[in-house]
Chain A
Amino acid sequence: MTSGLPPAVLGGRIVRLAEKGRPQVRFRLDGADCQALAGDTVLTAVLVCGPAVRQSEFGREKRAGFCLMGACQDCWIWQEDGCRLRACSTMVAEGMQLRTVPPETWP
């Protein structure tokens, strides 16, 4: 399942400053086991582990969200089942399978 993925995550860009005592939530990002905290958005959860949520379709750069209020649509992220979700306005849930690149089944 993990073939064709970009190199292993380079470490996150988000720094936790407060509210660190919440229960842990496990999810998978590009096939790797990751941990988040209950109440994290998918965006927070992913950016604690890695630097981006997706590759831009129109440029060479990756994307990591921009407005965090559902207005810019920068933070859509893939799931293993092929559905995408808006990372800034979706809460992370136990067992989520997220991908920064489309699944192989995507045409």
Chain B
Amino acid sequence: MTAPGAEKVVIVGAGPAGIRAAERLVQAGVKPIVIDEGTKAGGQIYRRPPRGFVRSPEQLYGPEARKAVALHTVFDRMIAAGQIDYHPQSSVMTIADHFLQALTPAGRKDFTYDRLILATGAMDRLAPIPGWQAPGVYSLGAAQIALKAQGVALGSRIILAGSGPLLTLVATQLLKAGAKIAAILDTSSISDQAAGLPGMLVRPVLVLRGLRMRAKLGRLYHAGVTLDRIETDERGPVGLCWRDARGRAHVTACDMVGLGWHLRAETQLAGLAGCMFDYDESWSQWLPRTDRMGRAAEGLYLAGDDVRILGADAAEVAGRLAATACLADMGLPSADATSDLRRLRRYERFGRAIARAFPWPGEMVRAVPDETVVCRCEGVTAGQLRESVVYGGGEANRVKSLARVGMGRCQGRYCQLAGAELIAEKAGIQVCDAGRLREQAPARPLPIGEWVRDA
């Protein structure tokens, strides 16, 4: 049997998955390196406000306060006890061959590792609508982060639009905090949501909580809408043009629009690390291929929403499982995984039902007019993308080379899925055949002066 300190383990991400993975490794006597972009551990869901903020965990995290505090406490204790080598505010930029480089507050830092656990989570999944490049249009997640970590609303007359559990949750949290919301527009129809309901009943408490929140939104909430465009002036949004489930046109005045269609796995580092991917029809996106424990390749483990969009509770379980697999592969004793695997299967049934209830708006994306901006980074339009398909062929990386969709600063995070939809429509192929953008390092933009230096 190997000694616990013989191999170097790096964990990227300190959300629910990364924290539980670190805890499991520490319990086995391994001291992992934890690299995280946050200022404090917690991830996006359990993000902690800066020092000097006074709202209680109950005010910040609602019914999940106990889970949030438990995770924060576990992690802070491991730091205090010197059981982990923690690098906050640090972004991993490149990964290759058991070597990675991160941009830290002190500049570039290089790490070697024997085993890597990626717990990079998820981000908002976005679809383009005309006008969404205007200042004052945000992701739904942004609206939640602004409230949670800064105590602010991103506008004084807010429309939230899109679909997914976050839509109802963010609306509820903003209303409770005193923000003014003009409308909550869900592109998912009542029948889609009903079709997801049976599968969701494996977690009845969550369903009940969701339905209660939804009921309180009252007449602000509309299901089965079509979003036509955001009207803007120089300052930003002034109104949103939409059609209700019966096809009647509406214009609702606003100065902020929050958009999001459930979540998209953050897989940039997984791709750089050599993961294989499959197009998943449930979540309408490419997801990394792993075994049930999270093994993706030799010495590479994935956990949390970057593998399957299952939420924070499942991420805690998946983090433990990935660390358990890592320990087993190192020849170290590890806990029995049976009950966690059973839990994860239940969460996956729930997650797939949520995805069924709040689907990706493929038809809406295919119908966007040519002048609609698809790539927010560089202002590339649907028309330019469609034209590039005509002379370059229906493949995402070709379209990226020719029309620059996916070439900008966000590296395709916010346009890849809509781009694939538009490519598929123009080329007359399935979305899964439009291809996945190949990851390119660095995973985030970085100041060149931090990178090019004497060895």
B68 contacts the other chain (CB 8 A): no
Within 8 A of B (CB), among A1-59: 10, 13-23, 38-41, 44, 47-48, 51-52, 56, 58-59
Total residues of chain A contacting the partner, CB 8 A:
42
Nearest CB on A from B407, distance (A): 11
Determine the residue in chain A with the shortest Cβ distance to B135.
Answer: A64
Known: A19-B53, A61-B134. A13 touches B123 (CB 8 A): no
Contacts of A62 on B, CB cut-off 8 Å?
Answer: 135, 234
A48 and B136 CA atoms in complex are apart in Å by 12
Whether A73 contacts B236 by the Cβ 8 Å rule is no
Contacts of B118 on A, CB cut-off 8 Å?
Answer: none
Whether B156 contacts A15 by the Cβ 8 Å rule is yes
Known: A44-B146, A68-B142, A69-B142. A14 touches B52 (CB 8 A): no
Whether B152 contacts A16 by the Cβ 8 Å rule is yes
A66 and B136 CA atoms in complex are apart in Å by 8
A93 and B426 CA atoms in complex are apart in Å by 49
Contacts of B453 on A, CB cut-off 8 Å?
Answer: none
- The interface bits of chain B over 347-381 (1 if a CB of A lies within 8 angstroms of the residue's CB, else 0) are 00000000000000000000000000100111100
Known: A15-B179, A52-B135. A40 touches B150 (CB 8 A): yes
Contacts of B376 on A, CB cut-off 8 Å?
Answer: 66, 72, 74
Determine the residue in chain A with the shortest Cβ distance to B144.
Answer: A68
Contacts of B410 on A, CB cut-off 8 Å?
Answer: 71-74
Known: A56-B379, A69-B142, A70-B37. A22 touches B150 (CB 8 A): no
Contacts of A61 on B, CB cut-off 8 Å?
Answer: 133-135, 232
B50 contacts the other chain (CB 8 A): yes
B40 contacts the other chain (CB 8 A): no
A91 contacts the other chain (CB 8 A): yes
A16 and B123 CA atoms in complex are apart in Å by 25
Known: A19-B55, A68-B145. A14 touches B379 (CB 8 A): no
User: Chain B interface mostly helix, strand, loop or mixed?
Assistant: loop
Contacts of B255 on A, CB cut-off 8 Å?
Answer: 13
- The interface bits of chain B over 70-102 (1 if a CB of A lies within 8 angstroms of the residue's CB, else 0) are 000000000000000000010100000000000
B312 contacts the other chain (CB 8 A): no
B246 contacts the other chain (CB 8 A): no
Known: A67-B124, A69-B44, A71-B413. A17 touches B147 (CB 8 A): yes
**Chain A residues in the interface with B (C-beta under 8 A):** 10, 13-23, 38-41, 44, 47-48, 51-52, 56, 58-59, 61-74, 76, 83, 89, 91
Whether B91 contacts A66 by the Cβ 8 Å rule is no
Whether B266 contacts A71 by the Cβ 8 Å rule is yes
Known: A14-B154, A15-B152. A58 touches B378 (CB 8 A): yes
Whether A68 contacts B141 by the Cβ 8 Å rule is yes
Nearest CB on A from B54, distance (A): 6
Contacts of A17 on B, CB cut-off 8 Å?
Answer: 147, 151-153, 177-179
Within 8 A of A (CB), among B186-233: 232
Whether A69 contacts B145 by the Cβ 8 Å rule is yes
Contacts of B134 on A, CB cut-off 8 Å?
Answer: 61
Nearest CB on B from A64, distance (A): 4
Could you write out 8 A-B pairs with CB less than 8 Å apart?
A13-B235, A17-B151, A44-B152, A65-B142, A66-B414, A67-B414, A74-B377, A91-B50
